[in-house]
Amino acid sequence: MKNSLEAVKKAGVMPRLSLAEQIFDEGGKRKGVRGTGPKRVKLIEDRVMMGKDYHTGEERYEMHYIVEENGIKKYYPTPLKGEDGSLSYLVKKMSEFQEGDEVIMEFKRRGAAGFIDVRKVSGQNIEEAEKENDDDIPVVEEDEGTYPTPEELDEVFDKDEEI
């Protein structure tokens, strides 16, 4: 919707990059999640922020990836740490890229588990890039948050912890 998009831009609200959507049965009961297809995006920056766990509502540290899709800046949040307390796969994977890189981000499913697949664009179309990388990446959930202080961020990781 053109007017809604203009209002969002004027308000300074950044839309979320949608890689998956909820699906429901005829009765309105949540049935699962399906991917919205591959998204070609340009990486702008990443920000560590406070957010809320989608399932528990508890506060947690998240990495927000600021990307540009079709000329529109969007964000994609992911937990900084996985369920086991270690640095999340997606954060590790995204550390391989630089600001300005173009990547393909896509929600994929392997069995019952879903994950976010990220591949660098190298002059090929999306279908060719999809065949190049099929790693198993854990599902991530999202919410907006606030920036942590440097001291709070230091507390996230034990100084002796190996990343």
Q: What is the pTM of this model?
A: 0.70
* Residue 148: per-residue pLDDT: 66
| 8 within some domain | no
Residue 6, domain member (yes or no): no
| CA dist list (Å): 44 to 99, 103, 138 | 5, 11, 23
7: in domain: no
143 within 8 A of 54, measured Cβ to Cβ: yes
- CA separation for the pair 133, 36 (Å, rounded): 18
Q: Does 117 reside within a domain? A: yes
- Report yes or no on 160 lying in a domain: no
Give the per-residue pLDDT at 144. 47
pLDDT at 143: 45
3-class secondary-structure state, position 35: strand
- Residue 27, Cβ density class (10 Å: 0-12 exposed, 13-18 middle, ≥19 buried): exposed
pLDDT at 9 (0 to 100): 78
In a domain, 3, yes or no: no
Domain of 80?
Answer: 13-154
Query: Tokens at residue 60, please?
Result: 């947690």
Number of folded domains in the chain?
1
pLDDT given for residue 142 in this prediction: 44
With a cut of 50, which residues of the chain have pLDDT below it?
Answer: 129, 135-144, 163
For residue 162, is it within any domain?
no
Host H or E run for residue 93: helix 89-94
Q: If 0-12 CB within 10 Å is exposed, 13-18 middle and 19+ buried, where does residue 43 land?
A: buried
Per the domain annotation, does 69 fall within a domain? yes
Contact, 92 vs 21, CB < 8 A?
A: no
Check residue 129 and give its pLDDT: 47
H-helix or E-strand containing 32?
strand 30-35
